[in-house]
Structure 1
Amino acid sequence: MPKSDPFEQHTERYEDWFDTHEDAYQSEVEALERLVPQPGFGVEIGVGSARFAAPLEMRVGLDPAEEMLARARERGIDVVEGVAESLPFRDETFDTALIVTTICFVDDIPQTLAEARRILRPDGSLVIGYIDKNSPVGQIYQEKKSENPFYREAVFVSTDELVQALESAGFSEFEFVQTIYHWPGEIDEPEPIQEGYGEGSFVGIKATT
């Protein structure tokens, strides 16, 4: 079952995080912009309130939470209710598929990645942004997940685990960026963005076939 109840019930708390942690949020957006400079016809899977879809110029957003879709619609996104494991789109529809801070909430990562590949055009790209479970922030999130309504049921993954899952889904070309080197509440200016992974807690992967 999709882990959407907390996002339906705590929509304002979700939105407040981005306003309170503006510099961390902007660092994540700018990191992902390096991977999606020209998204073409793009979809965000797990769009939430479109905090990433809107600045990254995705046209379509999918999410199981109606309250989130209402916010995404207000930000100019064409919204569709659904889940990542069974995308209601035809094969080879999109140039870019985006999954940001969502991979830890899906029920089936292999099926999610297979579906993302199915809806991408032959020269399309899948871009995933997430908190690496082996990073400092990832470790704190896991330690305190019982205290957070959003992360209580989340299953975090490492970059190596995600790359392995992507390869199994048929992706073979990868590009990495990273940012967020401090606890988000301690960040008071944009964080550096670097290639690769292993230092920053927020990692972006661009995967192509």
Structure 2
Amino acid sequence: SLDRFCMFIDHCREFLANPELKFFFSAPILALEDKELLEKLDSRKSSQLAVVFKTPDVVEDVLYPQLYKMEQATAALLNEYDFSVIKTGVWSGNPETVIMLELIAGTLPNVKKRIGPPVWVREHADKFKAKYEGAENVFGGYIEGGKYVFEIQRKYSTAKGLLEEQLVNCSLGNQVHQSVSEGFEVIEDAEICRLKDPDFRVFMRKWM
């Protein structure tokens, strides 16, 4: 990938600036303990989500492109519903695979603004007003900056709820989609401590 190629460039520059054996024989990365994980969660003040599902029984050359596709599709889904994604990551082991997502916030207000066209653009403004005025799940409307504005109820106020309902409708790749369709779990923040696989905990140390 482009990112891995750029990481290689960065490491080469570091080696040329300061040649050391550590570039070829790096120290082992220790698994992240529960206490450390909780401390990092507390210090970051963000929202961490883990989408956990059974690892499909396919070779890695088939699996990982599908996992990266799922990673991108999941982030796009969250952004579509106003959840700001800081970063994403993929870890796969036996028997589980995890898609990690860090968000600015995992919960949003129950209300959101719909901003319409300027009032003087009559045809479009009238259609916008007719759509929302008196409609169900609309809190109220007003004019702001010369435009109609309506405050409506947000369809999904939690990222977890959104993923639980809509993830299977994303473009995930055949084998990954089949596995996710058979069952997945979205766990948040401190609940991630339930995932004890040592390799996953090594991934989490690098992730956080």
Q: TM-score range by the shorter chain?
A: under 0.3
**Greater gyration radius:** 2
Structure number with greater CO (CA < 8 Å, separation at least 6) is 2
TM-score, length basis structure 1:
0.23
TM-score, length basis structure 2:
0.23
